[in-house]
A and B are shown apart, each in its own frame.
Chain A
């Protein structure tokens, strides 16, 4: 039988899963490579596991929401990601959805 802490952790991860995509899209208004993106998210308090981040970036790219290119930086080739025009439109819609949900939930959990 799952313990309270396990239940909480499962629910917390479910809650975070959707919001992480929004955070990643928002951070990629500026071009970043994977590791730099992870650091940027960590600096604002959103730790994300590498095992989840890189496959997510590839999935978002295959969905047309991101573009990427290989470039050399610090004497090493790195893959840089940024929002595509389609990604910007989706981010705007998701952000509006997030604000509406946030307002509703704020009233509910007050």
Chain B
């Protein structure tokens, strides 16, 4: 059984799911069994581009206990940071890809009596394995899934057949356009947990709505595609227990600057959603760009998520 490091894989098969979504099947080069995982898990993939490494996180869409291979589904996003375009245009069957172990920062609420999923576009991916788990455990759930058209709706037929009566689809560009709205959260039974996956704007909208309907924070779960952006100011960061002062320039994140300086800063999703890169702030105002901390936490605690948040002014003092 594997316990440490990354896993060398090769692309065994590529399937076109919709016009812009491809499913990649990854097999371990050493033919040994892969780690099983839990619903909502993802992997970090590393593709060697020669002069640099393309590092991206993708939800697993293969069955959690199928240990012969992993599958990921990638939407070719015209606004992507280059990752999805490269996967779509250059990755071929037989290519080598390095994968991390499966990690899960988007787990099912243990005490939930009912699970309600909201997916926008390719945000469907983590829900595929989560629903698989719930179905096996005999738990109740429902899915709300928005796409532009039925044709652009990845896994539409599969979901429709596998979970009859549990999925509601919303197609914004059909003859009778339908919009998915947060309103459906209002009538959920006590003990429900809600899950959002999609672009930042969608997740923020649904999170705000859930709170306004009186949902407790712990019943709200979400995963983001990418961190919110803003003006990237340069600033200085002093790390007191390492006796270092580091410049963070506009092209890099605080996390990148720390790592470049040889400081072993923790991190995982790099999108301000998982909280793994939290660091104590000793001095300085933080420009919070994550959606991980609640407003209350931002006021009470002096913390920063280094992957996306920055200094409000010219300097921050941190302790790692």
A binds B: no
Binding site for B on A (CB under 8 A): none
